[in-house]
Amino acid sequence: MGSHDNALASNSFLADKSAKVFVAGHRGLVGAAIVRKLTQLGFTNLVLRSHAELDLTRQYDVEAFFASKKPEYVIVAAAKVGGIHANNTYPADFISINLQIQTNVIDSAYRNGTKKLLFLGSSCIYPKFAPQPIPEDALLTGPLEPTNEWYAIAKIAGIKMCQAYRIQYKWDAISGMPTNLYGPYDNFHPENSHVLPALMRRFHEAKINGAKEVVVWGTGSPLREFLHVDDLADAVVFMMEKYSGLEHLNVGSGKEVTIKELAELMKEVVGFEGALVWDTSKPDGTPRKLMDSSKLAGIGWTPKISLKDGLVDTYRWYLENYKL
């Protein structure tokens, strides 16, 4: 921490539950979890706007919103997100929409007296061949994964913008980079969802349809890391209260699971009685992707939700919200 960071850290986020808190992107996987957590903690003045009410890509509208509402705290969980196919098909959307959202929100927050802002990104900001587990200082040390560089470049610019405003204006802007997330309000679309919700949906549909087997691509050997969004929301509150530094922080579970272990656990949670078959003619993807979250752990935060408990919770939500 630089000398001015200590002074900035004197704002206590949890001390004033009536403070105005703007959660940008409150209807998404991450934003919804943050709103649940803040409501649980007794925050009474959350400022929320749907996309229809406030388009964050429109500079004039964002400036007018901040000038009128003047939130004391801002959490940026709004982003244009998607899988490999979407990134390949709509690269202009991924770079321009994300740059617009974060630039408008960060700048307007600073200009309208926001005390503290937290910008959220993703683990895809790191180089394709980063060391494993990936430390924060691996950022910008090598080429990105080409399939999502449009999104990654925007998120890296957001980190740098928070750092620049901290340096130039002595303003308390921080960044957190979560690992692979899952939980309520995830995207369970059969074509463009991530591996965990896709597996949940496939096992569920196989169970409902009485299928004999579920075929999964690859050998099941790649290692992945997953964090329940409620754990991320807990980390967000912790960072708003305890962290005030220039460097972004990784937010991960620190626990690795093979795709095979994940599939077997998912089969058990969903209650699919058939066979699990591996199509080893299909590619495996990156052998390992794990973030080094020891900096955040060193400050005092660790996740609380086990993968099994998190899957049970997510499947309960899925059953209540997705009708076949």
Enzyme catalytic residues: 151
Biggest CA-to-CA distance, the chain? 63
**149-169 helix and 91-111 helix, angle to the nearest 10 degrees:** 20
CA distance 98 to 323: 32
Residue 322: CB atoms within 10 Å: 11
> What single-letter DSSP state applies at residue 10?
T
Token code pair at residue 83: 């899988």
CA distance 213 to 151: 36
User: 136: helix, coil or strand?
Assistant: helix
C-alpha span between 30 and 183 (Å, rounded): 9
| Structural contact between residues 128 and 285, judged by C-beta atoms closer than 8 angstroms | no
Length of the chain in residues, anyone?
Answer: 324
- Dihedrals phi, psi of 101, to nearest 5 degrees: -55, -55
Helix then strand count (H, E) for the chain reads 11, 11
**160: Cβ contacts below 8 Å, ≥ 6 apart:** none
Q: Where on the phi/psi map is residue 265: left (φ > 0), alpha (ψ -120 to 50), or beta? A: alpha
